[in-house]
Chain A
Amino acid sequence: MSLVEIKGLAIRFGSLHNPIHAVRHVDLSIERGTIHGLIGESGCGKTISGMALLGLLPQSARVSADAFRFDGLNLLDVAKSLRGRRIAMISQDPAAALNPVLRIGRQMDDVLKSHSGLPRFQRRAVAEELLAATGLADPRRVLKSYPHQLSGGMQQRVVIAQALATGADFIIADEPTTALDVTVGAQVLALLKRLVQERALTVLMITHDMDVVAECCDSATVLYAGHTVEAGRTDELLAAPRHPYTQALLAALPDAVAKGERLASIEGHIPSPFAVIEGCPFAPRCASAMAVCRQAKPPERDDGNHCWTCHLEPHHG
């Protein structure tokens, strides 16, 4: 059974007649012990879907879903009580996640005090051990440091150690490498991959960067305008994308064409969050759109290890 099973998630804000559709129809299924990528451009609903998993949506949000389960539990009821116990988060900017006026030791201890129930001297040993597990060479020095005395990569490792300190087995990482240099980011991704194997963690990696997905994700889901448009194993998804949006996104990368050729940019804009979408959300910008695409919801298609929603008949052979 999948650890996370979401079907038909919709999140709306604002008035009842003219709501803001932050998330329209997200399906997401995450297997235990894997890193799953949630890919999409600004405004596609990827961060707010992650917040829903954490139970961090504001009061004004109206959430509905056909299924919204974590380890068999209905998250609509229990998300708040799982946060910090089974589900932890790593944010984009480690400098903002850490308190600038407290030493790392105090900040690690705060997490351990409220989650482990261990006596003080043991908590210190556990903190050292966790920092060492995230690849920090000198945990004692780190514990005595303030955040500004650490580099960005070291700060992100401390944040990861804090996530581990909660004892959570599911970690939501929202763009964890965007604020880091490419080579440092690659090290952080390698660390997450190692921790997933050693500690039987499951990670949801929210990102807009195809390189991050290729580097560390086992499988991924592509969102467009609050809809899941395609999901599958990473190698399948990157080598043979089926949905026109995924294809267009990969074709827009600078290494998709020979040097000097024009990049394939996607014309038009994402639909307004107020818009009522009858058919396929991507239809107005899709190069192979047909009349039916604007009128009816696209069917879900599946070729075994890869599923997508599109009116186009899949090509065989």
Chain B
Amino acid sequence: MALDVGGKSVETDEEGYLENRDEWTQEIAEAIAVSENLEMSDSHWEVVNFLREYYEEYQIAPAVRVLTKAIGKKLGKDKGNSKYLYELYPYGPAKQACKIAGLPKPTGCV
């Protein structure tokens, strides 16, 4: 599969996850978000940026509690929970936000 972004074709897998993480740009993220019926707000970006930073260091997306804790520290305790993350990413913060962040889909019993 391929995603068309600004006239350029970007390879994705069957579900729309980027085949090549290095190709990721903010523009591509916006385009994936549109295909997910999401509009990227600053709050959405907070999550995506954290995921990318974490991946850079640990080669995997953060566990949900690591993510909620980090978001809670940054944006206040009332936002450090998965309810808030599901409001931003209704299909599940791990999978939907990873897709937009250009990271591989978490696999397993999750």
Say if A and B assemble together. Answer: no
